[in-house]
Chains A and B, each alone.
Chain A
Amino acid sequence: MRIELNGSQCEISAATLAEALVELGYGAAALATALNGAFIAATARPTTPLHDGDRVEVLTPMQGG
């Protein structure tokens, strides 16, 4: 299926958000996720299904003021 990952189109076969992160190579990085603008907690990723056209945001710690 085709999703939008951090603003870019992306083809994945994973069915859930947790599987998608593994497939996309995020590994064990400290990160937070949102799906279609809503926060998805780490514990909810395995039970969060993905659908064609979903917008996924994956954020990690960054410098800030």
Chain B
Amino acid sequence: MRLYDIDVQSRLLLGTAQYPSPQVLTKAIAASGCDIITVSLRREAARGATAGNGFWSLLQASGARLLPNTAGCHSAREAITTAQMAREVFGTNWIKLEVIGHADTLQPDPFALVEAAQILCADGFQVFPYTTEDLIVAERLLDAGCKVLMPWGAPIGSGQGLRHAEALASMRRYFPQVPLIIDAGLGAPSQAARAMEMGFDAVLLNTAVAKAGDPVAMARAFGQAVEAGRIAYEAGLMPPRNMAVPSTPVLGMADLNLGGRA
């Protein structure tokens, strides 16, 4: 899979928030087999600014490529400033662009998203926009210079899976050449596998692993589900049928009716 100018092996992108401990996070990253992890920026208290730097050391030790986000931003202006700050701290042009439009659903604000994407792409950022399955918004984001799109599966942290699967399938068919990453809303490995079977290039998730009973085991489960789903997509799934079709050949079957021919 190629994301901007980078070849990526794993099709699972993992968030780093909400884990029980930094040790569990480190193990989960390794168990998932992911190459890319998402990170953020937050206020740091003066005097003894060490919390963020402990995390920074963990990130560097993980060896994963970093995808900083603009989580929590509700305007294009906030998101742009956050992206600029993230570029300096994390040393990457990659930015997962989130501009939240609704506090309850955490739904992207498509207007502010496109506006921020235009400005950031022009400023040399490689933007990964967190968007909906809306095709027109997707077109505008591509026009702005985005080379990857990240439609939501369901609201962030909801674990509902692919809530609008048909619309997502349309999006996949409409943009066959654009890397599409399902971002947010996945709660179970089976949902990730389904997204991959539908031909999505990758999935990004966080809560489903971080909040699992055993996050490390769940990270491994998602890693395998994503791989299985991708192999299935490449293998070519059979089309569904309305009626049963025998899988065992009927030709050459014995006549075992009692009392002669039926």
Q: Do A and B bind each other?
A: yes
Contact yes or no, B42 A60, CB < 8 A: yes
Flag whether B178 is at the interface (Cβ < 8 A): no
Contact yes or no, B43 A6, CB < 8 A: yes
Contact yes or no, B89 A7, CB < 8 A: no
By a CB distance below 8 angstroms, the chain A residues around B85 are: 32-34, 39, 59
Assuming the contacts A29-B50, A34-B81, A38-B81, asked whether A64 and B88 have C-beta atoms less than 8 A apart, the reply is: no
Q: Interface size on A (CB < 8 Å)?
A: 28
Instruction: Render A20-59 as a binary contact track against B, CB cut-off 8 A, 1 for contact.
Output: 0000111101111110011101100000000000000111
**A7 to B43 CA separation, bound complex (whole angstroms):** 9
**Chain A nearest CB, measured from B213 CB (Å):** 19
**A60 to B59 CA separation, bound complex (whole angstroms):** 13
Contact yes or no, B69 A39, CB < 8 A: no
**A33 to B206 CA separation, bound complex (whole angstroms):** 27
**Chain A nearest CB, measured from B130 CB (Å):** 10
Contact yes or no, A65 B69, CB < 8 A: yes
Assuming the contacts A29-B50, A31-B52, asked whether A62 and B88 have C-beta atoms less than 8 A apart, the reply is: no
Contact yes or no, B16 A63, CB < 8 A: yes
By a CB distance below 8 angstroms, the chain A residues around B228 are: none
Assuming the contacts A58-B46, A60-B41, A65-B71, asked whether A29 and B81 have C-beta atoms less than 8 A apart, the reply is: no
Q: Name the interface residues of B78-128: CB closer than 8 Å to any CB of A.
A: 78, 81-82, 84-86, 88-90
Contact yes or no, B77 A59, CB < 8 A: no
B69, B71, B84: which has the most chain A beta carbons within 10 Å?
B84
Contact yes or no, B81 A64, CB < 8 A: no
**A5 to B47 CA separation, bound complex (whole angstroms):** 12
**A26 to B42 CA separation, bound complex (whole angstroms):** 14
Pick 21 A–B contacts, CB within 8 A, sort by A. A25-B46, A25-B49, A29-B49, A32-B85, A32-B88, A37-B77, A37-B81, A38-B81, A39-B84, A39-B85, A57-B43, A58-B46, A59-B82, A59-B89, A62-B55, A63-B25, A63-B55, A65-B15, A65-B69, A65-B157, A65-B206
